[in-house]
């Protein structure tokens, strides 16, 4: 089953419907809460009024009032509403971020992203750097929880860079810098660069100790423990998990306690203390269900199944593994889906069901492949380069110590080191210069492409004809139509200019842009074009990112070469489907025009030939993206025929990775 909307360009598109739903959801937190305001205590209302009158601008000043109440969504909605009424932007940013945290902790990532993005916009409007950094960090946390590594790292780095512009940061900014460091460390951990990850967590740990931040101490001891467990350092990992558990008990963090007990149990299984692990996991499962975090429930169920598998209690093991797999599939957790299938494969082998074991194993491998594709190779290379650089520094220090110890070889070693250093420096310098030249050449080529793309999107014919159409409405005294299409035209120009400066944009934004383009172009076709958008169920256009401004050239080509010379019904369908391969989507643009062969004949016979460069530019841009992302951006243009061989239109098919 698919989400479908059928309409002509006067109707409401699917992207606009989705956007309206998103806006309606966010707005529900920001308006009219009188229906439950009577349930708010008078003391809380007085606290809110007093705070708004003082209007503090830092996180710490606001949080001191709401620290014990920020997890209560009812109270935060009330505070949001009051802050809107009094135009208290800093308070709005604080409260909406807390609501986003609430949804994030129950794995409702799309809603959390919407709220944190709204909080970021309010902080920018308020020109409050501290709340901007906080919102960027929260977006990074949500994307990391959803396994969107590239987007998470981008937001963490933006937050850290912004915070570092302040010479004397306050306590709130210091904590945000710590969150950024912690998040970046988690990315290294995900990429299995454990030594580097431990270094980042250790730096964050020192900041936590300076600020006596028990939550940060709990988090960073936990993260170091996970890295040590992955490296097989079980005793050290166990010690860090137990330290983290102690801090979580101090701050009364239910979620933290569950995660620590779950991780301690995980180490116990590796140590052969399976029965002890089982007791911990059973308690953690009931607490996780009460907490409502589906990600944690899934992890505990899967590891309960693993523990029971070690004890050869196969029936119970399969039940828990199946439960964990089902939850992971429902909330789209690729890492846990892969792990559950792996353990189910081991279980099938233990029961001599080798056919099922092979099936589970293949599924596990497929999801491991999806997870690997989500990791951006550019960041991996950067991490490896930094790691290697640190190794070289350590080696040079060791050489220096050896040189001091062996004084008789001092002169000889110094000469060798000097010559080697000069050679390495020269080689490194040459390689760096060549690399920079290659990089600058590519950047220049990309800039030229982007400028050419922008010119193709805003070609003079389109601008002139659109303005003429609007002018005709004005001459005919059709003021409503003139204002309507002028608004859409200005919105389209603004979106094109905004998107042209970005390498990637959400699919939802791209669909909205082409929807506006089709509405405006349809003026010149006397509204004869029926435009339809179909999005397959399970695809969230707000989280899928694609190269900016790649669809409009194909729609323009369909209009002017496929449909402009056609008699009768004129249809264009834009379909977004899951690709045949995991980690890809297919975007198809189908028209019922005269076909490419007939269009070429008409074009050759025209005295004034309209040169279309948009498709060529788009092909070259997709080729560049393929090189940058080490992924395939495929484009196919297919001719459609009926049973008698008569052309019935054209189909453009874009095969795009969901990075």
- CB 521, CB 559: distance < 8 Å: yes
The values of phi and psi at residue 609, to 5°, are -95, 130
Q: Is 68 exposed, middle or buried (0-12, 13-18, 19+ CB in 10 A)?
A: exposed
**Burial letters 111-127, b for 16+ CB under 10 A, else e:** bbbbbbbbbbebbeebe
The per-residue pLDDT for 386 is 44
507 and 652, same domain (yes or no):
yes
Q: Is 312 helix (H, G, I), strand (E, B) or coil?
A: coil
DSSP lists the bridge partners of residue 533 as 5, 574
Q: What percent of the chain has pLDDT over 90?
A: 19
CATH number for 558: 3.30.565.10
The per-residue pLDDT for 159 is 92
Residue 564 CB contacts under 8 Å (≥ 6 apart), including other chains:
525
- CB 192, CB 226: distance < 8 Å: no
Residues in the chain: 659
Distance CA 179, CA 160 (A): 9
Q: Domain limits at 612?
A: 488-657
Question: Any idea what the Cα angle at residue 229 is, between residues 226 and 232, rounded to 5°?
Answer: 155
Distance CA 511, CA 517 (A): 10
Instruction: Show the tokens assigned to 501.
Output: 């400066």
Q: Residue range 455-467: average pLDDT?
A: 58
495 and 368, same domain (yes or no):
no
Of 341, 374, 407, the residue at which a domain comes to its end is: 374
Distance CA 139, CA 136 (A): 5
Q: Is 637 helix (H, G, I), strand (E, B) or coil?
A: strand
Whether the per-residue pLDDT at 448 is higher than 70: the answer is no
Is the residue at 398 inside a domain?
Answer: no
User: Which of 342, 394, 395, 392 lies closest to 367, judged by CA?
Assistant: 342
The values of phi and psi at residue 3, to 5°, are -80, 125
Q: Is 3 helix (H, G, I), strand (E, B) or coil?
A: strand
- CB 327, CB 301: distance < 8 Å: yes
- CB 650, CB 591: distance < 8 Å: yes
- CB 519, CB 573: distance < 8 Å: no
CATH number for 306: 1.25.40.10
Is the residue at 293 inside a domain?
Answer: yes
DSSP lists the bridge partners of residue 641 as 647
CA atoms within 13 A on the CB side of 553: 23
Least confident of 36-50, 155-169, 256-270: 36-50
Whether the per-residue pLDDT at 129 is higher than 90: the answer is yes
User: Which of 56, 27, 31 lies closest to 115, judged by CA?
Assistant: 27
Q: Please state, in angstroms and as integers, the Cα–Cα distance from residue 49 to each residue in 55, 62, 82, following that order.
A: 10, 12, 8
pLDDT band at 562 (very low <50, low <70, confident <90, very high): confident
Distance CA 222, CA 230 (A): 13
The per-residue pLDDT for 225 is 93
pLDDT digits (tens, 9 = 90+) for 599-653: 777 777 664 444 455 566 677 767 666 555 556 678 888 888 888 888 889 999 9
The per-residue pLDDT for 186 is 83
Is the residue at 128 inside a domain?
Answer: no
Is the residue at 318 inside a domain?
Answer: yes
Q: Residue range 98-105: average pLDDT?
A: 90
- CB 525, CB 570: distance < 8 Å: yes
59-66 vs 171-190: helix crossing angle, rounded to 10? 90
358 and 495, same domain (yes or no):
no
Residue 267 CB contacts under 8 Å (≥ 6 apart), including other chains:
229, 234, 237, 238, 241
Q: Specify the DSSP class assigned to residue 146.
A: T
- CB 51, CB 65: distance < 8 Å: yes
369 and 505, same domain (yes or no):
no
Nearest-Å Rg of the Cα atoms of the chain is: 29
The per-residue pLDDT for 527 is 84
pLDDT digits (tens, 9 = 90+) for 310-348: 888 888 888 888 888 898 888 888 888 888 888 888 888
pLDDT band at 488 (very low <50, low <70, confident <90, very high): confident
The per-residue pLDDT for 383 is 44
User: Which of 251, 331, 318, 334 lies closest to 292, judged by CA?
Assistant: 331
Q: Into how many domains does the chain fold? A: 2
Q: Write down the mean pLDDT value for the chain.
A: 79
pLDDT digits (tens, 9 = 90+) for 246-278: 999 999 888 888 889 888 988 888 888 888 888
368 and 497, same domain (yes or no):
no
pLDDT band at 224 (very low <50, low <70, confident <90, very high): very high
Whether the per-residue pLDDT at 138 is higher than 90: the answer is yes
295 vs 118 pLDDT, higher one:
118
Is the residue at 510 inside a domain?
Answer: yes
Distance CA 107, CA 344 (A): 24
Least confident of 84-88, 133-137, 610-614: 610-614
Instruction: Show the tokens assigned to 443.
Output: 């950047």
- CB 522, CB 427: distance < 8 Å: no
- CB 281, CB 304: distance < 8 Å: yes
**Burial letters 235-272, b for 16+ CB under 10 A, else e:** eebbbbbebbbebbeeeebeebbbbbbbbbbbbbbeee
Is the residue at 519 inside a domain?
Answer: yes
- CB 263, CB 226: distance < 8 Å: yes
User: Which of 72, 125, 123, 122 lies closest to 99, judged by CA?
Assistant: 72
Q: Specify the DSSP class assigned to residue 57.
A: -
Distance CA 5, CA 13 (A): 7
- CB 273, CB 310: distance < 8 Å: no
The per-residue pLDDT for 139 is 94
| Per-range mean pLDDT, top range of 169-178, 206-215, 228-237, 455-464 | 228-237
Q: Residue range 524-542: average pLDDT?
A: 88
Q: Residue range 529-534: average pLDDT?
A: 91
Of 355, 374, 393, the residue at which a domain comes to its end is: 374
Is the residue at 594 inside a domain?
Answer: yes
**Burial letters 502-529, b for 16+ CB under 10 A, else e:** eebbbbbbbbbbbbbbbbbbbbbeeeeb
Of 334, 356, 374, the residue at which a domain comes to its end is: 374
pLDDT band at 395 (very low <50, low <70, confident <90, very high): low
Instruction: Show the tokens assigned to 551.
Output: 């669809």
Q: Residue range 218-225: average pLDDT?
A: 92
- Helix spans in 127-191 (H): 129-145, 149-163, 171-190
Q: Is 138 helix (H, G, I), strand (E, B) or coil?
A: helix
């Amino acid at each position: 089953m698919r989400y479908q909307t059928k309409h002509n360009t006067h109707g409401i598109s699917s992207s606009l419907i989705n956007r309206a739903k998103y806006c309606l959801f966010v707005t529900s937190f920001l308006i009219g809460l009188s229906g439950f305001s009577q349930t708010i205590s008078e003391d809380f209302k007085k606290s809110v009024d007093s705070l708004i009158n003082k209007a503090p601008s830092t996180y710490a000043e606001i949080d001191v009032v709401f620290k014990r109440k920020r997890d209560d969504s009812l109270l935060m909605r009330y505070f949001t509403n009051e802050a809107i009424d009094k135009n208290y932007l800093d308070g709005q940013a604080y409260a909406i971020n807390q609501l986003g945290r609430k949804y994030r902790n129950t794995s409702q990532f799309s809603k959390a992203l919407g709220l944190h993005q709204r909080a970021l916009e309010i902080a920018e409007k308020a020109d409050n750097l501290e709340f901007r950094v906080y919102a960027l960090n929260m977006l990074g946390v949500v994307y990391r929880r959803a396994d969107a590594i590239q987007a998470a790292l981008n937001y963490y780095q933006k937050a850290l860079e912004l915070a570092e512009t302040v010479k004397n940061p306050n306590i709130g900014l210091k904590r945000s810098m710590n969150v950024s460091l912690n998040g970046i460390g988690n990315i290294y951990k995900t990429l299995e660069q454990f030594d580097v990850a431990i270094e980042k967590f250790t730096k964050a740990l020192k900041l936590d100790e300076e600020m006596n931040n028990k939550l940060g101490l709990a988090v960073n001891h936990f993260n170091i423990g996970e890295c040590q467990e992955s490296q097989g350092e079980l005793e050290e990992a166990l010690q860090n998990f137990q330290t983290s558990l102690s801090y979580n008990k101090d701050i009364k963090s239910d979620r933290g306690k569950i995660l620590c007990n779950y991780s301690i149990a995980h180490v116990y299984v590796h140590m052969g203390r399976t029965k002890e692990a089982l007791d911990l996991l059973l308690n953690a499962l009931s607490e996780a269900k009460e907490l409502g975090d589906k990600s944690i429930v899934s992890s505990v169920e899967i590891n309960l199944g693993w523990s029971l598998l070690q004890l050869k209690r196969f029936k119970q093991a399969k039940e828990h593994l199946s439960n964990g797999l089902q939850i992971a599939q429902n909330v789209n957790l690729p890492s846990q889906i892969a792990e559950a299938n792996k353990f189910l494969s081991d279980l099938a082998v233990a029961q001599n069901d080798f056919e099922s074991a092979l099936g589970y194993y293949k599924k596990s491998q497929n999801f491991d492949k999806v997870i690997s594709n989500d990791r951006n190779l550019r960041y991996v290379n950067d991490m490896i380069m930094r790691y290697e650089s640190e190794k070289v520094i350590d080696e040079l220090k060791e050489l220096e110590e050896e040189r001091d110890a062996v004084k008789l070889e001092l002169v000889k070693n110094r000469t060798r080191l000097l010559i080697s250093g000069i050679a390495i420096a020269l080689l490194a310098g040459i390689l760096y210069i060549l690399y920079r030249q290659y990089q600058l050449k590519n950047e220049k080529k990309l800039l030229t492409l982007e400028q050419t793309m922008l010119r193709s999107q805003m070609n003079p014919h389109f601008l002139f004809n659109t303005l003429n159409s609007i002018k005709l409405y004005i001459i005919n005294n059709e003021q409503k139509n003139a204002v309507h299409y002028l608004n859409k035209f200005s919105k389209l120009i603004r979106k094109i200019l905004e998107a042209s400066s970005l390498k990637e944009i959400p699919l939802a934004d791209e669909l909205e842009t082409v929807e506006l383009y089709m509405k405006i172009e349809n003026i010149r076709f006397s509204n004869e074009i029926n435009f339809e958008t179909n999005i397959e169920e399970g695809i969230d256009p707000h989280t899928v990112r694609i190269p900016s401004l790649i669809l409009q050239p194909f729609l323009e080509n369909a209009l002017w070469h496929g449909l402009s010379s056609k008699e009768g019904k004129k249809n264009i369908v834009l379909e977004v489907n899951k690709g045949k391969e995991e980690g890809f989507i297919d975007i198809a643009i189908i028209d019922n025009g005269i076909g490419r062969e007939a269009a070429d004949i008409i074009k050759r016979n025209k005295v004034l030939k309209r040169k279309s460069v948009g498709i060529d530019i788009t092909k070259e841009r997709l080729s560049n993206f393929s090189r940058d992302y080490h992924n395939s951006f495929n484009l196919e243009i297919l001719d459609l025929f009926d049973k008698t061989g008569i052309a019935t239109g054209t189909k453009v098919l874009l095969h795009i990775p969901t990075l």
